[in-house]
Amino acid sequence: MKKAMGLLFILGLLCGGAQAGQKFTAALYGHLILPGDTGYTDVYGKSGFLPEIKAGVSLSGSFFLWARYGFFGQKGETPALKLEAESSQHVFSLGAGYRGKLGSKLGYEIEAGAVLVRYKEEAMGLSSSGSAFGFRAGAGLTYALAGPVFAAAEAGYLYASDKVEDITIKPGGVLLGLGLGVKF
């Protein structure tokens, strides 16, 4: 968590130095994740909760850069032997987006970027861990609440892939989220 916060802070400083006077955003999101890997859903279920921190900086006009960090962990049971299994994923994302207005308080955002998923799984007395690279894309609506505070709703897809002993694993899936943030 400290590394993720440090990454977001450094991104903000770099972008802030290059684009002095531009607007920043910071937000907390809660996502329902619907994993796309059937091997994963057989053990851990068809959905989970992915909390995330997002930071962004406006570049010029409607374009912005963003960084996100989220953590996803679940416990499950192996299908055949009914043994306990545990999985955790740390999701780091960087990308760019476009935002526009639909009204005086309502806006939209479209974004895409790269993703790194650090995963670890423990089952049947064995442990496996590694990194998977991929992409993330999404779109959402924002609503200005009071002053710099805004609410957000978004939908997207996160895809990453790695091969472990001739088995392809695919962390990620469909994301449906709600968030609360601030512009400064």
- pLDDT of res. 15: 47
Neighbours of 170 (CB within 10 A): 19
**Residue 27 in tokens:** 């937000």
Average pLDDT, the chain: 88
Q: How far apart are CA 107 and CA 178, in angstroms?
A: 15
Q: How far apart are CA 91 and CA 76, in angstroms?
A: 20
Q: What does the pLDDT average to over 70-84?
A: 89
144-172 pLDDT, tens digit each: 999 899 999 999 999 999 988 888 888 89
The domain over range 2-183 is classified in CATH as 2.40.160.20: yes
How many CA atoms lie less than 13 Å away from 134 in the CB half-sphere? 19
Query: Taking 70 as the threshold, does the pLDDT of residue 11 lie above it?
Result: no
Is the distance from CB of 29 to CB of 158 less than 8 angstroms?
no
96-139 pLDDT, tens digit each: 999 999 999 999 999 999 999 999 989 888 888 999 999 999 99
**Residue 7 in tokens:** 């990454």
Q: Shortest CA distance to 112 belongs to which of 139, 132, 136?
A: 136
- pLDDT of res. 173: 93
Place of tokens 């670890």: 120
Outline where DSSP puts E strands in 18-125.
24-35, 48-58, 63-77, 84-101, 106-123
19-65 pLDDT, tens digit each: 444 499 999 999 999 998 888 888 889 999 999 999 999 998 899 99
The domain limits of the chain are 2-183
How many CA atoms lie less than 13 Å away from 88 in the CB half-sphere? 6
pTM of the model: 0.82
- pLDDT of res. 60: 83
- pLDDT of res. 19: 43
- pLDDT of res. 17: 43
